[in-house]
Amino acid sequence: TASYDRFMEFVEIDAHIHETADGNPAIASVLDLGFSYGGLEFHGLKLSNGQPGQKAVWFDCAIHAREWLSTPVCLRIIDEVVANPALRDLADWYILPVANPDGYDYSFTDDRFWRKTRRPTADANCPGTDPNRNFDFLWDAGNPTDYCSEVYPGTGAFSEPEVAAMGNFILDIADNLVLYVAVHSYGEMILYPYGHTVEPVPNVDQLIAAGTGTASADAIAAVAGTAYTVENSASGLYFTYGASDDFAYGRGAVEFAYTFELSAGGSGGFDPPASQIQPVVDEVWPGMLALVEYVLAN
Ligand code: 0X9
Ligand code: ZN
């Protein structure tokens, strides 16, 4: 079972994914996403009632290594969907608890605040690419020699094997996919596309309605009063290219795409104590459920 009183390591999470699938063979299957640069085989989980042609929703966590609070949110989604058949009648659920396994491991062993992947760059002192600038949608090299930047986008779109694996998987399931959610920390925000422009996208009203109103942010606030804001990525945060949410939306894989920025914790915001896991998961799950329900109804 998943732990919410401590942060689980990558090997434990991967074992948990396999145990969940083995214990629930009628509804759960392991997604083989491939190998990280460092050779870790990483997996997601698909939960489904088995009916063909159902709409599908996607959640990924910990694409930024240090954002440890995100993974328990993915694990809680798995717990809920395994336990509740009605949720599997709503949609097929694709969940990827650790999208950047090399970086995630490294944030346990060497550097708690590691963000990027671990593939070397041309600068031996600065390995790693920001996976959330590496997706194949409006990828932008920026300053191509700025290897040490925390948002170094890599040598080209999908230069990172983990990112290519995840992105191509999303395109593969695009026919049924309606909702893409990336879980990050921190900021208490629900961000919607795009990151490269403040120009409203065609269905911006629906994106906002799903994020707010009676939907996600309100469901989160109803638990303990935490106020998530619902904002365009570029105006709410900063300009970005090659991010996962914009990829899923811009490449037409989904009509609804979001990045959730969870609560801050610890000294710099990225280092919450384990005691924060349970309250965060308890308030965010209702928000995720409300979002899925809204999207499936609209
Ligand atoms: O900058 C990011 O990748 C995300 N923030 S974080 O602090 N977790 O690094 C926000 C990404 C939001 N989505 C887009 N800008 N498209
Ligand atoms: Zn992040």
List the domain boundaries for the chain: 10-297
Round to whole Å and give the CA distance between 205 and 82.
32
φ, ψ at 73 (rounded to 5°): -65, -45
Choose the residue to mutate in 188, 240, 247 for probing ligand 1, maximizing ligand atoms within 8 Å of C-beta. Answer: 240
What does the pLDDT look like over 248-298, one tens digit per residue?
999 999 999 999 999 999 988 999 999 999 999 999 999 999 999 999 998
Dist. CA 96 → ligand 2 center (Å): 15
How far from 18 is each of 70, 73, 95, 108, 113, CA to CA, in Å? Answer: 20, 18, 13, 22, 28
Q: What residue owns the CA closest to ligand 1's atom 10?
A: 259
Q: Which atom, in ligand 1's list, is nearest to the CA of 185? A: 8
The residue annotated as part of the active site, out of 67, 160, 162, 261, is: 261
What does the pLDDT look like over 81-104, one tens digit per residue?
999 999 999 999 999 999 999 999
What does the pLDDT look like over 222-237, one tens digit per residue?
999 999 999 999 999 9
What does the pLDDT look like over 114-169, one tens digit per residue?
999 999 999 999 999 999 999 999 999 999 999 999 999 999 999 999 999 999 99
CB 98 within 8 A of CB 104: yes
Round to whole Å and give the CA distance between 32 and 34.
6
- DSSP conformation class of 229: E
Find the residues whose C-beta lies inside 6 A of ligand 1. Answer: 64, 67, 132, 184, 191, 195, 233, 237, 240, 243, 245-246, 259, 261
Round to whole Å and give the CA distance between 74 and 97.
5
What does the pLDDT look like over 197-219, one tens digit per residue?
999 999 999 998 887 755 899 99
φ, ψ at 17 (rounded to 5°): -60, -45
Q: Which atom, in ligand 1's list, is nearest to the CA of 193? A: 16
CATH number, domain 10-297, options 3.40.630.10, 3.50.30.30, 3.30.360.10, 3.40.50.2300: 3.40.630.10
Give catalytic status of residue 261 as yes or no. yes
ipTM beyond cut 0.95: yes
